[in-house]
Amino acid sequence: MAEGGHGRPRAWTRELPPVCLGGAWQMAIDAWLLEQAQPALRLYRWQRPCLSLGRHQRRLPPHWLELAAGGAIELVRRPSGGAAVLHGGDLAYALVWPQPPANRRQAYRQACRWLQDAFAALGQPLRFGERPASLAAASCFATATAADLVDDQGRKRIGSAQVWRSGCLLQHGSIQLAPDVGLWRQLFDTPPPALPPLPGGESALEAALMEAADRSLPLPPLRQQPWSAIELAAVAGALAQGRVEAAEPAAASVASPTSPEASIERTTWGRASPRG
C-alpha cells in the first residue's frame, strides 16, 4: 500500500513510473488509483491499438465489435466519461485529485493547467474548446468541449474526461501524437486531426510535461514512487474478479495472463525495472 492510504490526502503527489500495457491493465490501474483517494499522476502508452469507451457510452457501431473480435483493436471501457478514444498513437495521462473544487468547469481548468504550460513551453499554446458536451459523437476527437484542449487552428490535441468518487477526482487524458490514419478512418469514418509535429519529439514532450506538473498541478509536490508487488497483485485481483467494467462480455479476455509485476518490469519505458 502506498504511503498515506485512504482518508486524508498525503502531503505529496505520487509520480508513478510510465508503463506500456494492454488497455484492460491500464484501466484497472487507474480504477485502483482512484480507490486509494491519494494524489497521483502517471503517463502511459499502449501495447497495441485500443479503443476506450466512455463510462456511459452504450451504443456501439457493429463494426467496432467486429474489429475487436478480429484482433485489430482491444476494446475497453474507461472509468471516466466521454466518447470513444483510439489509443496507440497517443500518450495518455491519469491524474487523481482528492478534494478538488466542487465546480467541474473550475476543476477541469485547474487540472489542465500543467498541460497548457507544457505545450506553451514547446511553442504550441493550447486553449480550451467551446463546444457543448454530447454523447452524439462516437469519437472523443470529433468535438472539442470545455474539457478539451485545442491549438490556435482549433485542432484538438488533448481530450480529457473525469469521474468523481466520494469527493475524489480521476481525470483521464489522451494526447494525440501520431494516430493511425487508416484505423481511425475504419472506426470513425473520418480522418484524425492533422496535428503539427512537436519540436524535439516525444521525449521533449514528456520532459516538458513533468516539469510543468511540478510547477502547475493543483496538488502537493511530486515524488517518484514505483509499484510494489502488493499493489500490482491488488490491481490484478480487481481485474480477475471483474471489478473493472468490460466494454463487452468478451472483452474480459483481453487481460494478459502475465503477472502484473513481470508486465510492468518488461514494459517500463527503456528500463529493466520501474524507476524509483
User: Over the range 4-27, which residues count as b (16 or more CB within 10 Å of their CB) and which as e?
Assistant: beeeebbebbbbbbbbbbbbbbbb
- Can you read off the three cell numbers belonging to residue 172? 483521464
Dihedral of CA atoms 40, 43, 47, 48 in degrees, nearest 10, equals: 110
- Can you read off the three cell numbers belonging to residue 35? 480507490
Our answer to whether residue 140 is catalytic in this structure is: yes
Residues 6+ apart with CB under 8 A from 158: 112, 115, 126, 148, 149, 173, 174, 175, 176
> If you search the block for the grid coordinates 502511459, which residue do you land on?
44
- Can you read off the three cell numbers belonging to residue 252? 474480459
Q: Which of 50, 112, 140, 168 is catalytic?
A: 140
Q: Which residues are catalytic?
A: 140
